[in-house]
Each structure stands twice: as C-alpha cells, then as structure tokens.
Amino acid sequence: MKPTSRLRYADKIDRVIAHLEQAEDADLDQLASVAALSPHHFHRIYRLMTGENVAETVQRVRLGRSVPELQDESVTITAAAGASGFSTSQSFARAFRSVTGGTASELRAGQTGLLDRLLKPASSGEPVPMPVEIVSLEPFRLLAIRNVGAYEELNKSYEALFGAVFAELPIETLRGIWGVWHEDPRFTPADQLHFDCAIDVGDHVSPGAPVEVMEMAGGAYARQRHIGDYASLHDTIDALYARILVESEHAFADRSMIVNYVDDPETRPAAEPRSDVYVPLEG
C-alpha cells in the first residue's frame, strides 16, 4: 500500500482509539462505524495496525487512568485502582501485571518500561511486506447453512448441508467447499460467532430451509494459499491482511472474507490440506 494509503488507515484507527479513551465502547460494529471501515474487516485491521485487539485496548485505557494516582505517593494503590474503575485492588493488580508484566508498586518506584507498556501496545511494528496475489473472480452462487456458535460445531453444520443438498442432487454436482467468515473466533465469544458453511453446486437451486442461496460478488480479491491444518489458518489470514496493508493499493471491500477448502481433510493427512483465502477488495 502506498504510504498515503497506510496513513489513511492509521487515521481511521486513531479515531477508534480516541473513542475508546472516552467511551470504552467495545462493540465492534460501532467501532467500525467510527473508523468508517467495513465491520467484516475492522477487527483484523485494528489488531494489525495497533498490535492488540479491542478488548486489550480497553483494558490498557482503564489502567492508564490510574497513572496520575500512581505517580502521587500520597495516593494509595487501592485508590488508584478505584480511579481506573476496578472494584478491587486484586483485580486491578491482575490486570496491571497482564498488561505491563509488572506491578503498580514497581511503576511507582520508577521501574523502567512499565509506564510505556501501559500507555501504548507492547507490539505495534510494521507488518512484514510480502507479495499479494490479486485475482478476479466471476460472480458465483453458493448453497449454505449458517452456523451460529462455536467453530467446533462447524462439522455438524457441513454434515447437515451435505445431507440436505445431496439428498436431491448427485454428489458429482459438487464443485467446491467454501466457508464465509464473519468474525475472528480468537477474539469473539463463541455464542456471537457467525459462519456460513457453503458449497458450490453451480446453478442448482436450494432444497429449502435450512439451506439458503448466497450470491457471491465477483471482482478483485487478494488470495493466499494455506497448506496445513485449520488451526494454523489464522496465521495465513493475518499475514494476508498485513500484506494488503503494506503492499496493495486496493482498499478492503465491504464484504466478508471467504475461504475455499480445496481438499477434503478426511482424505489427506492433517498437515497437507490446501485452503485458498480470499479477501475482497474495492476496484
């Protein structure tokens, strides 16, 4: 991404941080609106640009409010904890150590580095620049069942999808297995996760509820191939987003990331299945 484009994203994230410092509003849709970013991509862009997720920022901002009291020897640490909104000194101490790696007493004693860790993320370095493959997809249709809840339940949803569709169609109509990702399961409560388990069977119609038809937009996508188990897929997704932020002149489109599961994991060793990650782009 050109420097001016990267600065544009930095300005958007700065607005979110300023909002969090005032309101501590961790609702991702609201924060995406503050940043004028698509909610489909906001959480990943935020973490890559700041080095922390929103919940970590909120925790750090709350602790930061204790700094004036901690720098005043006449104020007790219990009072400092109350000033930052913690109900007990014990919960304050646990949060403080989690964020800084030290204690409030050490900060008060002038421990080097603790104040810096409290006032800014521990890691906010530039993503490593690597090439991005930009591809163009034609519009296509998927048949899908939405899974609401933990990703551990995805297999059941895929089994239900296959059972419903291929009770009416021959298995030979299967062109591909897809997933439409709406949240990051590492940082979203399981009961708030939405994931569309999907398959491509061409122009064949849906057999009816609970299977739905999804019309997928064509256009530009950044694509990255992942080889390995699905637990490590997040690393590939993070790397792709980082590469887009650094190298691509495209902006993120207001659509969900999609993944094409090239191989059936039941027919290949766990370390070998291939998955193609597609992040939609504008233009």
Residue 25 confidence (pLDDT): 67
Q: Is 278 left (phi over 0), alpha (psi -120 to 50) or beta?
A: beta
Mean pLDDT to the nearest integer, 94-117: 82
Diameter of the chain by CA atoms?
A: 77
Residue extent(s) of CATH 3.20.80.10 domains in the chain: 133-280
Mean pLDDT to the nearest integer, 179-197: 93
The SS3 call for residue 94 is helix
Q: Which two tokens stand for residue 241?
A: 């987003």
Distance between CA atoms of residues 163 and 264, nearest Å: 16
* Tens digit of each residue's pLDDT (9 = 90 or more) over 63-80: 888 888 888 888 888 888
Cβ contacts of residue 282 below 8 Å, gap of 6+?
A: 220, 250, 251, 252, 253
Q: Which two tokens stand for residue 43?
A: 């959480």
Residue 121 confidence (pLDDT): 63
Residue 63 confidence (pLDDT): 86
DSSP state of 281: B
Amino acid in position 164? A
Q: What is the dihedral of CA 143, 148, 152, 156, to 10 degrees?
A: -40
The SS3 call for residue 265 is helix
| Closest C-alpha among 67, 45, 64, 66 to residue 54 | 45
* Tens digit of each residue's pLDDT (9 = 90 or more) over 206-234: 999 999 999 999 999 999 988 888 778 89
- CATH second-level architecture of 133-280? Alpha-Beta Barrel (3.20)
Strand partners, 277: 224, 259
Please, what's the b/e burial string for 208-244 (b: 16 or more CB within 10 A of its CB; e: otherwise)?
eeebeebebeebbbbebebeeebeebeebbbbbbbbb
Q: Which two tokens stand for residue 282?
A: 């504008």
Distance between CA atoms of residues 178 and 259, nearest Å: 6
38-42, 129-133, 186-190: least confident range: 129-133
Tokens 């484009």 map to which residue?
5
pLDDT of 3 over the 80 cut? no
Structural contact between residues 142 and 200, judged by C-beta atoms closer than 8 angstroms: yes
pTM across the whole model: 0.76
- CATH second-level architecture of 3-119? Orthogonal Bundle (1.10)
CA 56, 59, 61, 67 torsion-angle sign: negative
